[in-house]
Structure 1
Amino acid sequence: MQKKYETRDFNELTISEISRMKGLPDDEPDKRIPLSVWIHDIRNIPLKQLTDGDIAKLIRQTIFLSYIVPIAYNRINNNPLAGSLGDGEVIESFQLISVEEWKKESKALCIDTQRFFGDLLWKLNHLQLDIPYDTEGFDDVDKADLENSIQRTIENLNEALQ
């Protein structure tokens, strides 16, 4: 039985709309800062149309996590190796969220994410994770890397929830 995680439908929202809802200005990008230019470029694209790489980058930059994390759950459920820079980039992006950043988020989001990654780890260790195989394959080293990313995410969430 698939556990239900918080997957509110934020698919149609854009970064620009979320910014307005949060009372943030929709400024012109600082062309000297690549992140500013990138955010400006994707700001009017519905979240569901962003690439896996965009979702991973938003997570790494801790931008609107309460909106992006549920989108990431769906991406990971559809393809545990989702990513643009490499296999598992979306999963790996979570381990880079610091304990301090998790503490700024709602307790419900932290608990939900902790459960999601706990179940993901169980599925990985019991060969229940639907890994799409490609020509390069998914070997034991890749599995160990993915497992480490998941464990670090869980550890950070555990600490944030203490």
Structure 2
Amino acid sequence: MAQEQPQADYALDEWYNTFLNKDRTELDITDLCRMIQQNIFIEVAIDKAVEVLKHNPLAGDVYDGQLVEALFSVDMEKITE
């Protein structure tokens, strides 16, 4: 009997495929949180997240403050200028 891949893996793959076709202006809070968590285009994600948080400090897709929490999880030593 073959093992099925977890649904979360499939959802992440599906998100990534749609994410690749988005322009920076089309990124939403879900995209930003996932970009930060997956360390994908992290500089773009941080810049866009700061813009969003200036207008809504409690921005979040699943819960209030989710975006700021994601930003706090970034290891700044791994980020290059």
TM exceeds 0.5? yes
Aligned to 1:39: 16
Identical pairs, percent: 26
Distance 1:94 1:67 in 2: 12
Question: Superposition RMSD on alpha carbons, in Å?
Answer: 1.6
Q: 2:78 aligns with which of 104, 114, 131?
A: 104
Q: Which has the larger radius of gyration?
A: 1
Counterpart code for 1:65: I
48, 53, 59: which one pairs with 1:82? 59
Using the alignment, how far apart are the partners of 1:103 and 1:81 within structure 2?
A: 25
Find the aligned partners of 1:62 and 1:92 in 2 and give their Cα distance.
15
The count of residues paired between Structure 1 and Structure 2 equals 73
* Consecutive unaligned residues in structure 1, runs of 5 or more: 1-31, 109-162
Moved over 3 A (4+): none
TM-score normalised according to structure 1 size: 0.41
How far off is 1:87 after superposition?
A: 0.8
- Structure 2 unaligned blocks of 5 or more: none
Query: What are the equivalent positions in structure 2 for 1:130-149 lying under 5 Å apart?
Result: none
- Length-normalised TM-score, structure 2: 0.76
Secondary structure at 1:54's aligned position in 2? helix
